[in-house]
Amino acid sequence: MISVIIPVYNNETFLPQLFTDILNQTYKDFEVIFINDGSKDNSQLLLQDFCSKNPFATCYFKENGGVSSARNLGLEKAKGDYIVFWDADDYVNKDFLKLMVSNLQKDTLTVCGFSHINDKNEKVDRVLEKSKIVSKNQIAFMQENWFFNALWNKIFFKDIIIKNNIKFNENYSVGEDTLFIAEYIKHVKNYLIINSSLYTYVRRQNTAMTKYCSSIYDSHRKIYETIISSLDGEQEDYLECLNQVKLLFGQNCVGNIWHLVAYLKNGSNQVLKKALKHYNTDKNLIKPKVNILLKILLKLKNITLLKWYYKLFLSRR
């Protein structure tokens, strides 16, 4: 059986479509676990009505604690052999569960293609021409094709999660899903990417990724350190992939530094200073190529000059 875990927070507008997508699933051996994370709208009433009519669905209400705590509660309640995570405001293909479970392989993380609807309501497909098995070390390939970071395009073995005590880190509000995946891949050898678009992710306004987050640098640092520790040193592609990950780490660090600079008025200088110190000293990252002026400013760790650089060159992008 598959356990589908769905956190809900003020999603009454999107729940009717989600219910339709659930009922239309062509694979029927599954349970749905809704975690209502303190919604203040009519989500609870809609969930209770749906669960009363569909015995495979259950709903748990908790005080608002964030999506990580909601998913952790869902994992505690899950009875299935396999775990799937969906978001309440997206769209799910009717064959999602059928194709994901039929492509399961032990020691492999199964991943599907998906569609992405951006802020301009443009739909972009992220699908390979052919299904393929990819080494667990190929993080750069996975990230470049948008397959790695999200939970909702994957199916997980519950016994791997339980045996290795893998949970969502409730201290982070950004990157917590990617950190979960990074912990999980320590215990598999490959990815299987199936060439079917089975999920549609809709980017909404006012998400965690569009707000100031003081922990963004630390959370992504933890993600990449975990990824590096998960790489298989016995595979031929190890050293090449290790350097690719270190470069991605460095690029991500610069991006997070700009996030902290952009929202500096809402945050603490100490958070940014800590990030700059790490960027200049951590040997786990490879610094990306930047122009000589920016290279100097990052090395000097001068917040005033970085703020000036951001305002002059980057703020209008």
What are the tens digits of pLDDT across the range 77-120? 999 999 999 999 999 999 999 999 999 998 999 999 999 998 88
Above pLDDT 90, what percent of the chain? 89
Q: Are residues 255 and 164 in the same domain?
A: no
Q: Are residues 229 and 180 in the same domain?
A: no
- For residue 276, give the amino acid letter: L
Under 8 Å between Cβ of 242 and 283: no
d(C-alpha 186, C-alpha 227), whole Å: 8
pLDDT tens-digit map of 280-292: 999 999 999 999 9
Query: What average pLDDT does the segment 40-45 reach?
Result: 97
d(C-alpha 246, C-alpha 279), whole Å: 12
Phi/psi at 196 (nearest 5 deg)?
-135, 135
Q: Are residues 190 and 218 in the same domain?
A: no
192, 209, 226 - which closes a domain: 209
pLDDT at 195: 96
pLDDT at 204: 77
pLDDT at 10: 96
Q: Are residues 180 and 136 in the same domain?
A: yes
pLDDT tens-digit map of 16-29: 999 999 999 999 99
147, 180, 209 - which closes a domain: 209
Predicted confidence band at 216 (pLDDT cuts at 50, 70, 90)? very high
Q: Are residues 149 and 136 in the same domain?
A: yes
d(C-alpha 184, C-alpha 205), whole Å: 29
186, 209, 232 - which closes a domain: 209
Q: Are residues 200 and 255 in the same domain?
A: no
Q: Are residues 140 and 282 in the same domain?
A: no
Query: What average pLDDT does the segment 177-192 reach?
Result: 97
Q: Are residues 244 and 186 in the same domain?
A: no
Q: Are residues 185 and 137 in the same domain?
A: yes
pTM strictly above 0.85:
yes
Q: Are residues 189 and 256 in the same domain?
A: no
Q: Are residues 255 and 195 in the same domain?
A: no
Domain span at 17: 2-209
d(C-alpha 178, C-alpha 162), whole Å: 18
Predicted confidence band at 208 (pLDDT cuts at 50, 70, 90)? low
Q: Are residues 41 and 97 in the same domain?
A: yes
Number of domains comprising the chain: 2
